[in-house]
Chains A and B, each alone.
Chain A
């Protein structure tokens, strides 16, 4: 497998363009699954701010992706993650996986997202009406990750 694309971006990104770039890179794959996470809260005056630990965050995501490579026969993967302040409807994360058949691509993308939620070094806070709150993984996020335990 030689299509590995990882970007931590302080700028807004275009998931459709990311999908096309990935699709072009994995030509010949039989299946691509792509997920885009968006900032919720269009009905509030909300700012979501993500921070990361430069170099360490990239290394940990690569480590998580390697676990996915070991588990499913992937042709490639792409992960883009925003950092910095963002507002409702902006993309936060893009995950795409490609494989010869759909099941591996579906499962690997699901796995990567579950691990990004609670194992990748990011910290998330939301500011609503001038009040900042840190957002930590929910019990559901922890349970989602447990699905992949062997």
Chain B
């Protein structure tokens, strides 16, 4: 799977391309896995205003994941 980080989140973690980690079955467990051992990323991921997209669709609820998914963690959007 591909895990992408955008905006402020991109400052605290590189993008990751790897098989689905053991025990990760959905976006909630992926967030827990990413936060483990990386306190800075854990803090950034818990901030209000971040969004998550799975296969380029914004999700608002915990979503099941498979090996072929692309998950994007995005800090607050700011265009214009």
User: A residues within 8 Å of B by Cβ?
Assistant: 37, 50-51, 53, 55-56, 59, 81, 92-93, 113, 116-124, 134-137
Given contacts A53-B72, A55-B56, A121-B74, contact A134 B7 (CB under 8 A): yes
User: B residues within 8 Å of A by Cβ?
Assistant: 4, 6-8, 10, 49, 53, 56, 72, 74-80
A residues near B79, Cβ cutoff 8 Å: 50, 81, 93, 116-118, 120-122, 124
Given contacts A51-B7, A53-B4, contact A117 B78 (CB under 8 A): yes
Distance, CA A37 to CA B53, complexed state (A): 27
A residues near B76, Cβ cutoff 8 Å: 118, 136-137
Distance, CA A54 to CA B56, complexed state (A): 10
Main SS class of interface, B? loop
B residues near A81, Cβ cutoff 8 Å: 79-80
The A-B contact count (CB < 8 A) is: 65
A residues near B53, Cβ cutoff 8 Å: 53, 56
Q: List 15 A-B contacts (CB under 8 A).
A: A50-B79, A81-B79, A81-B80, A113-B80, A116-B80, A118-B78, A118-B79, A120-B79, A120-B80, A121-B79, A123-B7, A123-B75, A134-B78, A135-B78, A137-B76
B residues near A93, Cβ cutoff 8 Å: 79-80
Distance, CA A54 to CA B75, complexed state (A): 16
**Cross-chain contact A117 with B7 (CB below 8 angstroms):** no
**Cross-chain contact A123 with B6 (CB below 8 angstroms):** yes
